[in-house]
Amino acid sequence: MKLFSFLTKDTNINFLNKRKIAFVFSALLVIASIVELGLNGLNYGIDFSGGILMEVKTDGAADIKDMRAKLSGLEIGEVNLQTVGNTGDEVMIRAQAKNLDEKSQMEAVLKIKDILGETVEYRKTELVGPAVGEELKKAGVIAVVTALLAIAAYIWFRFEWQFAVGALIALTHDVITTVGVFSLLGMDFGLTTVAAILTIAGYSINDT
């Protein structure tokens, strides 16, 4: 309790006095995010880039190293494996088969099943072709831009223009820095991420 003893009803912290520092820090975050996006771009997930997604369950804890070694010989691009859940027996297999058509992807799925055999339970298999991935990418961009423009139009109409400008700057800051973090960390950027960004935009404008 002593740690927070300075927080009393009479506490008076001059936050506005630090506004210039906050402005500079926020501006640097936005610039850094834009530079990061320009240099490294986004690590598009299967939703946008196309590929194969399989979820399997092993009998006991999964030996990721052994499974990765078995699948390394497949010529279907980068294959990523990771455990999901807390039990350690569920594995997500992502194959970035970007240049394969649907028929070739199905053949790749059969090869994966041949390699892993009947020792695993195949719970889910998803295929996304490159053409569909491009369409989803465009739809995701349109969704985000349309939502931001709609918010901008409402704020501009509902409040005085000075407050509207401040709210839109804060909204842009929050969205750009979030996308910048995804680029910096190389995290998968898919449809779920787009939904998360729209949620962040909603919370941001509500908070503002």
Is the per-residue pLDDT at 74 higher than 90?
Answer: no
Is the per-residue pLDDT at 3 higher than 60?
Answer: no
pLDDT digits (tens, 9 = 90+) for 15-64: 888 888 888 999 999 999 999 989 988 887 777 777 788 888 888 777 78
pLDDT digits (tens, 9 = 90+) for 123-152: 888 777 666 667 777 888 888 888 888 887
Query: Nearest-CA neighbor of 128 among 96, 83, 171, 82?
Result: 96
Which tokens sit at 44?
Answer: 């598009």
Res 180: pLDDT: 92
41 backbone φψ class: left, alpha, beta (φ>0; ψ -120 to 50): left
Res 156: pLDDT: 81
CA atoms of 89 and 63, how far apart (whole Å): 9
CA atoms of 127 and 45, how far apart (whole Å): 12
pTM, 2 dp: 0.65
Res 204: pLDDT: 85
Q: Indicate the average pLDDT of the chain.
A: 80
Q: Is residue 186 within 8 Å of residue 41, measured between CB atoms?
A: no
Is the per-residue pLDDT at 77 higher than 70?
Answer: no
